[in-house]
Amino acid sequence: MLPPMGAQAVDRSSSAPHRVQVWLGSTRLALNLAQVATLAGSSLPRFRSLRTSGFFLAFSGVASVMLVRYLGAADVADIVALRIVAYACWLYGAFGLWTLLSPEALEASGQALLRMRGQSQLLFRSQILGIARHLTLGMFFAGMPGMVAAVAISPSIPTLLLRVGLFALALIYLASLGFVLGLVGAICYKAAPRSPRRAALALVLVPFIISFTSESVPSIPGFYSWALSEMIAWGGVV
């Protein structure tokens, strides 16, 4: 005997919130597992050396901003700080991703346990979030102190407002780059588990190299280089 049409409608309407609830629950679990999935990589000596390099880069960013102020060129302090942001992207974006995808990091992480339990989809999401978390926090730590110093020494209200806007854009810039690199790392580990670093290198560099001969080919370095140049051009307005 078929159920009433009204009951079918209720079942359909109640299934949608249930699916959302299940998705939110699995996402929360992926967030909790994200740190575990890449914890071994962040504890490797090479990643710890990145933190040391990041500290010196952060210090040099603040020192460079103060130096241009001392030389009477405080109006270009934001441009100097944005250059430090670019160096932070290279430091953590390139070397950090390479370290987190190393065989030592993958073997010692919690990914094997998730794979054994058949949680492949959860593993994929936790890898994205875990890699993105480590890289984004590292880029924040290395690149943003210079931006804070540039905002602090703003010589006028219009310059202050402009630099606050640049500061917010730089945060979005680094967070989006961290997420994109996390996605690249997770895709490459899933597609080529034996050589994810080589796959990531090819996925990032091959389109970038081709873009020199064909500008219509998009690439991650090309897009973020363009976005940084736009922020620098905006910073030179005032």
Task: Please give the full DSSP string across 149-194, using - where no structure is assigned.
Answer: HHHHT-SSHHHHHHHHHHHHHHHHHHHHHHHHHHHHHHHHHHH-TT
Q: Global pTM?
A: 0.79
Query: pLDDT band at 10, cuts 50/70/90?
Result: very low
How is residue 2 annotated by DSSP? P
What pLDDT score does 100 carry?
83
- Average pLDDT of the chain? 79
Q: How large is the average pLDDT for residues 165-194?
A: 92
Tell me: pLDDT of 80 over 50. Answer: yes
Give per-residue pLDDT as tens, 84-137.
Answer: 999 988 888 888 888 888 877 666 555 555 555 555 556 677 788 888 888 999
Question: Looking at per-residue confidence, does 31 or 105 come out higher?
Answer: 105
Q: What span, in angstroms and rounded, lies between the C-alpha atoms of 80 and 95? A: 22
Among 108-112, 144-148, 234-238, name the one with the lowest average pLDDT: 108-112
